[in-house]
Structure 1
Amino acid sequence: MIYTLTLNPSVDYIMELDSFQKGGLNRSSMESAFPGGKGINVSRVLNILNVSSVALGFAGGFTGEYIKQFLGKDDVRTDFVEVEEASRINVKVKADDETEINGRGPSIAEEHIGQLFDRISSLTGDDIVVLAGSIPGSVPKTFYQEITAQCQIQGTRVVIDAEKNLIQPVLDLKPFLIKPNHHELGEMFDTEIDTIEEAVHYGKKLKVYGVENVMVSMAEKGALLLNGDEVYYSSVPEGELKSSVGAGDSTVAGFLAGLSRGWSVEESFRLGTSAGSATAYSIGLCSKDKVESLFEEIQITKL
């Protein structure tokens, strides 16, 4: 089973306006609300691709209930730890430009952290856990490291999609997959990465730590997957960029969906880049039809 972890999930409340007047009364022309968080995005895209997962994390209050109910209607299983304070609301105002106001999120007590750790400690060598996004201030910054160490003991494969300071401490624990974009990969080595060749060079430096798979997204330049001694390059299909939000999460979900179907690493990578592109070319997350149509356009080349 695939488990996704979102430590600080949100209700993303999107308000669209014709124009925005600071300090005045504004009325929206359209509103929508979705559960937010990188791990939740992975679970939602896995479900779109007909692959089961369980969403883990912390949820509380009426907003936590909304998140669980929304995911339940989409047939996404959840096993959140209940906390006292309400899950956060992130407000996104879209007018001439876009303004975001992100909530702080609930305080997480030690007992809640222990309950979540117990859930992860019960996983087995047949499971994968996706650690995605930032760690809230009330959770120890070493939490991903502690989870990965526990998963190494029990044989659970770990996928990490997070910022530099959360990825670097777990590299020696040999995670199954990390997925930086080329900017994030450059930050790990205090450099800028602009070319495929540079991305391959620094991706191989991460492989030295024992990371099984390194996937590097490079926007319009394509994507790379380093697996074992092989390096695969994925082309970018034609399409109009509408939003990059969730594209990286969709790429991770597509790759894991392919592996769960028993596909080769190469074809799973192709499905991952298809899902990532489909989300980038959509408002919101991808659709299954969009993923399937782009899948036919993508070429995977062994470098």
Structure 2
Amino acid sequence: MILVVDLNPYVTKQYKTEKIEFSKINTVEEKITQPIGVGIKASLLFSEFDKYPIFMSFTGGYNGELIKDYLRKRAIRSETIDMRDDTSELMMLESKDKKVYFMTQNARLSRDELDKFYYEFSKISRESEYVCLLGSKYNMESERFAENIIRIADKENAKLAVCVDNQSPKSVMDSKPYLAILKKSQLEEIANQNLELEMQITKIAKSYIDKGVGVIGVFDSNRFLLIDDKNGYRVPLKLTEKMVIDRSMVTAGYIIASTRDFDMPTTIKFALACGMSKVYSREHFDSAEIKKIMNEIEVERFNL
């Protein structure tokens, strides 16, 4: 079983109008409301490949109910902790030539809400083979949330994969997750130096592998590097404005591949293809499209 922890799901409300006029009442022609978030998207990906995930997060107010109803209609089990603040929402006002965005402030979490989350997470992770930790923080800057989640998962023998986002990269890596996906800039923050050469990147990553991190994936501007306890793997990337890799979906894709006993090159291809897939716009991941993308990815192995 796979447990997906989404630190910040939210609801989008998209309004369309002929023309945006400031300081005037704008009449909208269409309204689209949809729950969104990296954990929701990952749960849909897991469901597509018959992994039956459990979605876990904090939800509050009407927007929180929308998220729970959205998952229920898609047969995705959710275990959410009720919070006093409303779940965040992103409002978009769109015309033919202009877009305006408004985002409500992230929810604030109380000590009781956090403690309840840790308690429920401990119980559910006990049943789970993998935990996928995704998303940005709520307003809890003093709370070492990601580190606590990793520690609890390890205690319950669940393999935790984390896409390092707004968490402190060093403290997350020091917590020794099963898999960490991060950007080169985050690795530079950990090392407190610029990492221009591939050997510099792999050296820092390998030092954390030696300390107990299972696998580390690092995105650079033109390549993806993956380091495990035996080898390094390099994937040249040719990214454009239209081709952006979703690191959260790479994290989820790696977990799916791990359950299928793929070799490492195939695992990397599958994970990256999940991050590149564009079919999600229709709330559906097409395995044929993912396979097509995999065939276009070249993985080079190198010694550490």
TM over 0.5: yes
1:209 aligns with 2:208: no
- Taking the aligned partners of 2:80 and 2:298, their CA distance within structure 1 comes to 39
2:173/2:180 contact within 8 Å kept = no
Identity of aligned residues (%): 17
- Taking the aligned partners of 1:197 and 1:16, their CA distance within structure 2 comes to 50
User: Greater CA radius of gyration, 1 or 2?
Assistant: 2
Call closer, same or farther: CA 1:193–1:71 in 2, change over 3 Å: farther
* Alpha-carbon distance, 1:22 to partner: 3.7
Relative to structure 2, which stretch is displaced further, 35-44 or 17-26? 17-26
Using the size of structure 2 for normalisation, the TM-score is: 0.84
1:40 aligns with 2:40: yes
Match of 1:277 in 2: 276
The 5 A counterparts of 1:4-83 are: 4-15=4-15, 20-26=20-26, 31-83=31-83
Call closer, same or farther: CA 1:119–1:51 in 2, change over 3 Å: same
1:104 aligns with 2:102: no
- Taking the aligned partners of 1:132 and 1:99, their CA distance within structure 2 comes to 27
- Taking the aligned partners of 1:144 and 1:204, their CA distance within structure 2 comes to 22
Call closer, same or farther: CA 1:46–1:241 in 2, change over 3 Å: farther
Call closer, same or farther: CA 1:292–1:23 in 2, change over 3 Å: farther
Secondary structure of residue in 2 paired with 1:216: strand
- Taking the aligned partners of 1:125 and 1:168, their CA distance within structure 2 comes to 28
* Alpha-carbon distance, 1:56 to partner: 0.4
RMSD of equivalent CA atoms: 3.0
2:210/2:229 contact within 8 Å kept = no
* Alpha-carbon distance, 1:159 to partner: 1.7
Call closer, same or farther: CA 1:205–1:102 in 2, change over 3 Å: farther
1:180 aligns with 2:182: yes
Secondary structure of residue in 1 paired with 2:136: coil
* Alpha-carbon distance, 1:81 to partner: 1.2
- Taking the aligned partners of 2:280 and 2:78, their CA distance within structure 1 comes to 25
* Alpha-carbon distance, 1:141 to partner: 2.0
- Taking the aligned partners of 1:165 and 1:138, their CA distance within structure 2 comes to 11
- Taking the aligned partners of 2:200 and 2:21, their CA distance within structure 1 comes to 45
Using the size of structure 1 for normalisation, the TM-score is: 0.84
Call closer, same or farther: CA 1:208–1:157 in 2, change over 3 Å: same
2:132/2:252 contact within 8 Å kept = no
Match of 2:229 in 1: 228
User: 1:68 corresponds to which letter in structure 2?
Assistant: K
- Taking the aligned partners of 2:48 and 2:220, their CA distance within structure 1 comes to 24
- Taking the aligned partners of 1:164 and 1:138, their CA distance within structure 2 comes to 12
Secondary structure of residue in 2 paired with 1:87: coil
- In the alignment, structure 2 segments of 5+ residues that lack a partner are none
Relative to structure 2, which stretch is displaced further, 53-62 or 18-27? 18-27
Call closer, same or farther: CA 1:19–1:197 in 2, change over 3 Å: farther
The count of residues paired between Structure 1 and Structure 2 equals 299
